[in-house]
Amino acid sequence: AALRAPQLGVAAPVAAAYAAAATAHARLLIALNEQIAALEEQVSAHFLAHPDAEIYLSMPGIGEITGARVLAEFGDDPTRYASAKARKNYAGTSPITRSSGRTHAVHARHARNDRLADALHKQAFSAINTSPGARRYYDKQRARDAGYNPALRQLGNRLVGILHGCLKTRTLYNEATAWSHHATLAATA
């Protein structure tokens, strides 16, 4: 009975003000969600009209929105990146190695395109759930005592190289071809 009794009430005008504020916030969220859905439709339509969209969508972990982000940040000039290494350096996924006589250190690249790095991180995270080869590669990095983010960055680096090869040869992603080198190394080990 004590728990069912009214507890610490507020004045009616204060309750009405809070109710009005909560209703206004809910209406704002509904309007924002409608605008986000409309924007996603436009982005998808423009991305799907691009000649490279099919190649991007064949990659593991890339959907229409992430594909549009990656394409926009890399650009669509086929001569912009001379090699896969140049594309990886621009993406910020390739490590920086510093060696001197006694020390050898590998560091993450911090000078990078942050929007592209975020999109590639999301791709790598999704790829470990959709691609067996990507999952094996990620697990191999984790077994080498790489942390979560470094392992995802290394997987993203590998996926950028695969994307570069697919765009260069104008072929779709193939799971067996993409990870055959790593499967051969695992079999011989």
Helix %, strand %, coil % of the chain (to 5): 65, 5, 30
- For 43-73, what is each residue's pLDDT tens digit? 999 999 999 999 999 999 999 999 999 999 9
pLDDT of residue 128: 94
pLDDT of residue 182: 63
Give the global pTM. 0.79
Residue 63 DSSP class: -
> Residues with Cβ < 8 Å from 10, sequence gap 6 or more?
18
Residue 144 DSSP class: T
> Residues with Cβ < 8 Å from 89, sequence gap 6 or more?
109
d(C-alpha 67, C-alpha 70), whole Å? 5
The parts of the chain modelled with pLDDT lower than 70 are 182-189
